[in-house]
Amino acid sequence: MNPAAILAVHRFGLGPAPGELVRAASDPRGWLVEQLSVQRSPEALKGLPDTGGSLKFLPRVLKNELSKEIEKKPGAKAKAAQQKKIGKSYRGLLQTHVEVESWGRFRAAAESRQPFHERLVRFWSNHFTVSGLKPTVLPLAGAYEREAIRANLSGSFADLLLACTHHPAMLYYLDNDRSVGPNSRMGQRRELGLNENLAREILELHTLGVDGGYTQEDVIAFARTLTGWGVDATAIESGNGGYKFLDAQHEPGPQTVLGRRYPGAGEQQAVNVLRELARHPSTARFIATKLARHFVADAPPASAVERLAKVFRETEGDLPSLHRAVVELPEAWATPGTKFRTPEEFLIGAQRLLSGRGGLTGGEELIAALNNLGQRSFLSPSPAGWPDEMGAWLSGDSLWKRLETISALAARARVDQPLKLAEEAFGDRLAASTRDILKGAESGAQGLALLLAAPEFNRR
């Protein structure tokens, strides 16, 4: 079996699904590159609500809807009971929504014949993280990933950056909806002020990086340009909610960011800044480092970073070119097994491996498993997203939880020949010692559990 195909499927993909190694065998690099062009929307995501539909799950919107259906009785006690009932219904509906979204997302990855593309969706989604830890974001996270990220991976980084910054999920998450220019119409009337959060995180986490060469003054100036980027609250109930430029909140006048002057131009002002940030050499380096870290090693080799940064600069951030450059990194093909699979990658890999003979069976189980493993669905801990280093995911406690999950999955899967499965999935990458241990397992279930616990399965 072609070792390059095995590496391609594990390191760049999501772990082998049936038949995948055969498909990748004749030209592993080609198999990866061709996934960059054909983008059918995954079947598993059909029927999920768009941003407008998801906005109807905002706490105040949905609770308002629910309260219309409740019989109003007078008195404080009755009112308290009503609120409790509304709260309970709201939580139930939100839970279902999140389960459906999580399951669709998981299935899309588990069933994908373009697993490299799925990896890239997740990489960029994590890079431009929005987190459901903020209640207004949780209902939107699924639609955000579909509309801002997934739909924008065949163009430029600048376009992706713009799409994410425009999306209500991002605007809510980083508080830009309440950022008001002090000299805007609303600012003058109500003494509301600037919120720097979005501007800072765009500079620190999305583009230049923390050492990319910006100052506090740049943050403030940039934040001013972003005022007015908000959400149309009036249209939400009708299902047409979404991004809207709110001129009344926008800080008028020119701003200087990173030494460049941007004349006052309403919404276009921040667009111009964002395009400049996308072209900045620090951005090229920052993105290159993150990509190399994600696909090659926790401490990415300088040569890989250099190569990717160069492609970024020379193509002005063309994402397909950049992604192809990742595939062409010799460093990525040299030493497999340097990266540790996150809980999500682990579960997707197991689902693909088991393909119908076991695995998770629905959103509720998925959420429970992700909770147990410490990577809660749509709930990344901060705007920096989920960490991309082994140290964050491998500890005594996290390994124990992973082994628990493995025991549970293996006990109810139907795999009689785990050694055969291992050989098909890993070929020569299966260590002789692992092979021996699998051979000596006392039952099919234990053998499968050992395979899922093996370093070969948990690293890529």
Partner 1 sequence: MTSPVSSPIVLSRRQFMLRLAGGAATLTLWPSWAATPDADRARFVLVILRGGLDGLHVLPPLGDPDYARIRGKNALGSGDVDALKLDGAFGLHPALTGMHGLWKKNQLLVVPAVASPYRERSHFDAQDVLENGQARVNESADGWLNRATAALGPGTGGDQAIAVGSQVPLVLRGAAPVGTWSPSLLPLPNQDFLIRVAGLYHADPAMADALADARRINAVADTDAPVAKGVRPTIALAQAAARFLVEKNGPSVAVLDVSGWDSHSSQFSPKGGLTRNLGQLDAAMTALREGLGTAWSRTAVLVVTEFGRTVAVNGSNGTDHGTASAALVLGGAVRGGRVAGQWPGLKPGDLHENRDLRPTTDVRALAKGLLLDHLRIPEAALEKAVFPDSRSAPPMRGMVAV
Binding site for partner 1 (CB under 8 A): 91, 94-95, 98-99, 132-135, 138, 175, 197, 340, 358, 361, 364-365, 367-369, 371-372, 376-377, 379, 381-383, 390, 394-400, 403-409, 411-414, 416-419, 431, 433-434, 437, 439-447, 449-450, 453-455, 458
Q: Which residue has the tokens 């699979």?
A: 341
Min dist CB 347 to partner 1, Å, is 12
HEC secondary structure over 316-361: CCEHHHHHHHHHCCHHHHHCCCCCECCHHHHHHHHHHHHCCCCCCC
Of the pair 81, 368, the CB lying nearest partner 1 is at 368
Of the pair 207, 458, the CB lying nearest partner 1 is at 458
Of the pair 264, 387, the CB lying nearest partner 1 is at 387
Min dist CB 10 to partner 1, Å, is 16
Say how far apart CA 66 and CA 334 lie, in whole Å. Answer: 57
Q: Would the CA dihedral through 330, 335, 341, 345 be positive or negative?
A: positive
CB 190 within 8 A of CB 234: no
SS3 of the chain: helix, strand, coil, percent, to 5: 60, 5, 35
Of the pair 48, 369, the CB lying nearest partner 1 is at 369
Count of C-beta atoms within a 10 Å radius of residue 234:
10
CA distances from residue 213 to 35, 203, 218 in whole angstroms, order as listed: 35, 9, 10
Min dist CB 90 to partner 1, Å, is 9
Of the pair 41, 95, the CB lying nearest partner 1 is at 95
* H/E segment holding residue 372: helix 363-373
Burial category of 286 from C-beta neighbours within 10 Å (exposed 0-12, middle 13-18, buried 19 and up): buried
Q: Would the CA dihedral through 222, 227, 228, 233 be positive or negative?
A: positive
Min dist CB 276 to partner 1, Å, is 26
Of the pair 289, 407, the CB lying nearest partner 1 is at 407
Of the pair 87, 254, the CB lying nearest partner 1 is at 87
Min dist CB 15 to partner 1, Å, is 17
Phi and psi, residue 417, nearest 5°: -125, 70
Of the pair 184, 458, the CB lying nearest partner 1 is at 458
Min dist CB 53 to partner 1, Å, is 19
The CA angle 431-436-441, to the nearest 5 degrees, is 125
Min dist CB 54 to partner 1, Å, is 16
Min dist CB 132 to partner 1, Å, is 7
